[in-house]
């Protein structure tokens, strides 16, 4: 009896110690935060788990000696770099072993980001992920890095969506790959890694009221599944996946949330107010450690994401540029208590940010040659981030002339405020008064990471 109690206590303690709230960090910005600032931001906010959406070793090494657990991603499009044993071995040696030798605490390698996607990431679908995953595992084991887990990230689109979780199953077209992956995860003790975008699931997949995406279930909307009632989408999403995994024979496999968040622009209902409300409910749910009906107990999550990525490829969805809890310049967008005490506080601001001067570029209003105006508008948006101007986005309500100004400014800032980059065939003018309008900020960027590193005499690869 006593033995059972002690084992019970140990299990509870082990699971609680293992549960965490981490954050993701991607680097597809025109002007990137200095990595040491990011380390500082994480430490200030007491975030000890980072999911790095890149595998640049110079970036990974920044976390040496910080105690921050780092999960490294090998994106779908890089799979060819490790699809043979020798290549896989070299990749692991350069990107995992070497940084570990230099003191980085790498705990996980994610091979493939939603490689079976048939929605937002379908352009980079890669069914060869399982062989690569196995090669990476082999290489890690041979190098004595058995403690670095190997996983793959999956979106909700691996499921054939059904009304209730208990009817869920994996899509027919990927079932063989899913079964093979699950066997590999189970063999190596890796969790099933899930990427979640609740707005999309609720509105566009299930066509439910958006209220169902929030934890405070104000609307009273519910989904009944047998004797279980779901009052929010997140629990329903997790349990849908849990059912599919259970049907494949791995009832006890852990589910880890590798990305969950609420973008603030570029998608219906994506705004700061909703993002704040969603996270408040989410963190309360996570810290309660109660879990879901199918997966009771603590859940590991990574909030997505630390800061906006204004260079994220538009074909994957404009909202992908607006996942940040922070703007690209390190200013927090909304209140979120990353220390998990449920307080209404802004997260710590990034220290030591050096911003460009208060100068903007705007359209001088000369509409005598509209072809020329349109040409310059298109040119500016081809190179810089105009996602805020798209239909339904925060700056969609601007007049046409203001939209042209927005685009010109984005281009000018991206090019570090070079005077020639506000020329636009004579249609641009540099101004010192902020042309921002309500709900639509004309940003000034920060001095870039690369510049500062080059000044220090180092050349970095990202």
Ligand X SMILES: *[C@@H]1O[C@H](CO)[C@@H](O)[C@H](O)[C@H]1NC(C)=O
Give residues in contact with ligand X (CB under 6 A). 67, 160, 171-173, 186, 217, 220, 226-227, 231, 249-250
| Residues 276 and 292 sit within 8 Å (Cβ to Cβ) | no
- Residue with Cβ nearer ligand X (226 or 457): 226
Dig out the tokens for 65 from the structure.
């000696």
- Residue with Cβ nearer ligand X (131 or 281): 281
| Residues 65 and 24 sit within 8 Å (Cβ to Cβ) | no
To the nearest whole angstrom, how small is the minimum distance from the Cβ of residue 51 to ligand X?
18
Q: What is the DSSP letter of 33?
A: P
φ, ψ (nearest 5 deg) of residue 431:
-130, 160
Cis peptide before 135 (omega within 30 of 0): no
- Residue with Cβ nearer ligand X (88 or 299): 299
- Residue with Cβ nearer ligand X (226 or 357): 226
- Residue with Cβ nearer ligand X (146 or 249): 249
Cis peptide before 309 (omega within 30 of 0): no
Question: Which residue matches tokens 């009944």?
Answer: 224
Residue 42 CA from chain centroid, whole number:
15
| Residues 270 and 317 sit within 8 Å (Cβ to Cβ) | no
- Residue with Cβ nearer ligand X (251 or 425): 251
Q: Among 96, 131, 93, which residue's Cα sits nearest to residue 112?
A: 131
DSSP output for 320-341:
GG---SB-TTS-B-S---TTSS
- Residue with Cβ nearer ligand X (294 or 380): 294
Q: Among 392, 408, 195, which residue's Cα sits nearest to residue 305?
A: 195
To the nearest whole angstrom, how small is the minimum distance from the Cβ of residue 315 to ligand X?
22
- Residue with Cβ nearer ligand X (252 or 368): 252
To the nearest whole angstrom, how small is the minimum distance from the Cβ of residue 216 to ligand X?
8
117 Cβ contact partners less than 8 Å away, ≥ 6 residues apart: 124, 125, 155, 157
To the nearest whole angstrom, how small is the minimum distance from the Cβ of residue 154 to ligand X?
15
To the nearest whole angstrom, how small is the minimum distance from the Cβ of residue 163 to ligand X?
12
Residue 227 CA from chain centroid, whole number:
34
Q: Among 343, 352, 399, 409, which residue's Cα sits nearest to residue 376?
A: 409
- Please list the residues that pair with 410 across neighbouring strands: none
To the nearest whole angstrom, how small is the minimum distance from the Cβ of residue 265 to ligand X?
29
**What does the alpha-carbon distance between residue 363 and residue 359 come to, in Å, rounded to a whole number?**
14
**What does the alpha-carbon distance between residue 238 and residue 255 come to, in Å, rounded to a whole number?**
8
To the nearest whole angstrom, how small is the minimum distance from the Cβ of residue 201 to ligand X?
16
To the nearest whole angstrom, how small is the minimum distance from the Cβ of residue 186 to ligand X?
4
| Residues 427 and 372 sit within 8 Å (Cβ to Cβ) | yes
- Residue with Cβ nearer ligand X (207 or 227): 227
To the nearest whole angstrom, how small is the minimum distance from the Cβ of residue 171 to ligand X?
4
**What does the alpha-carbon distance between residue 444 and residue 441 come to, in Å, rounded to a whole number?**
9
**What does the alpha-carbon distance between residue 331 and residue 333 come to, in Å, rounded to a whole number?**
6
- Residue with Cβ nearer ligand X (107 or 353): 107
Query: What is the DSSP pairing of strand 428-431 with strand 360-363?
Result: antiparallel
To the nearest whole angstrom, how small is the minimum distance from the Cβ of residue 3 to ligand X?
22
To the nearest whole angstrom, how small is the minimum distance from the Cβ of residue 119 to ligand X?
12
| Residues 43 and 62 sit within 8 Å (Cβ to Cβ) | no
- Residue with Cβ nearer ligand X (165 or 428): 165
């Amino acid at each position: 009896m006593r033995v059972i109690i002690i084992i019970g206590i140990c299990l509870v303690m082990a699971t609680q110690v293992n549960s965490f709230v981490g954050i993701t960090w991607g680097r597809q910005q025109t002007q990137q935060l200095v990595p040491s600032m990011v380390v500082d931001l994480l430490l200030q906010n007491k975030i000890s788990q980072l999911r790095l959406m890149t595998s640049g070793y110079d970036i990974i090494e920044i976390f040496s000696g910080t105690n921050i657990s780092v999960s490294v991603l090998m994106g779908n499009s890089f799979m060819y770099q490790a699809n043979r044993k020798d290549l896989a071995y070299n990749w692991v040696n350069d990107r995992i072993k070497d940084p570990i030798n230099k003191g980085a605490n790498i705990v996980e390698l994610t091979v493939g980001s939603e490689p079976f996607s048939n929605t937002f990431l379908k352009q980079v679908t890669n069914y060869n992920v399982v062989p690569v995953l196995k090669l990476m595992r082999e290489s890690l084991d041979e190098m004595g890095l058995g403690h670095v887990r190997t996983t793959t990230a999956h979106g909700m689109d691996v499921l054939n969506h059904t009304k209730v979780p208990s009817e869920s199953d994996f899509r027919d077209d990927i079932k063989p790959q899913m079964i093979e992956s699950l066997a590999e995860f189970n063999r190596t003790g890796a969790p099933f890694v899930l990427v979640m975008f609740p707005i999309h699931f609720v509105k566009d997949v299930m066509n439910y009221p958006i209220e169902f995406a929030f934890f405070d279930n104000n609307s009273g909307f519910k989904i009944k599944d047998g004797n279980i009632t779901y009052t929010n989408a997140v629990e329903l999403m997790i349990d849908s996946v849990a059912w599919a995994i259970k049907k494949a024979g791995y009832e006890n496999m852990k589910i880890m949330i590798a990305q969950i968040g609420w973008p603030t622009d570029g998608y219906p209902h994506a705004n700061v107010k909703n993002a704040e409300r969603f996270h408040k409910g989410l963190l309360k749910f996570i810290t309660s450690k109660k879990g879901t009906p199918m997966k009771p107990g603590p859940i590991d999550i990574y909030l997505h994401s630390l800061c906006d990525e204004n260079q994220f490829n538009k074909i994957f969805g404009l909202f992908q540029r607006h996942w940040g809890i922070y703007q690209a310049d390190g200013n927090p967008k909304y209140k979120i208590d990353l220390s998990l005490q449920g307080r209404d506080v802004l997260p710590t601001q990034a220290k030591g940010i050096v911003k460009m001067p208060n100068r903007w570029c705007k359209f001088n209003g000369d509409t005598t040659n509209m072809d020329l105006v349109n040409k310059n508008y298109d040119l500016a948006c081809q190179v810089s981030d105009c996602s805020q101007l798209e239909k339904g986005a925060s700056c969609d309500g601007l007049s046409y002339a203001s939209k042209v100004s927005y685009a010109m400014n984005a281009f000018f800032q991206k090019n570090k405020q070079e005077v020639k980059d506000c020329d636009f065939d004579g249609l641009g003018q540099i101004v010192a008064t902020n042309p921002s309008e309500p709900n639509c900020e004309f940003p000034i960027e920060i001095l870039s990471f690369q510049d500062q590193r080059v000044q220090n005499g180092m050349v970095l690869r990202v």
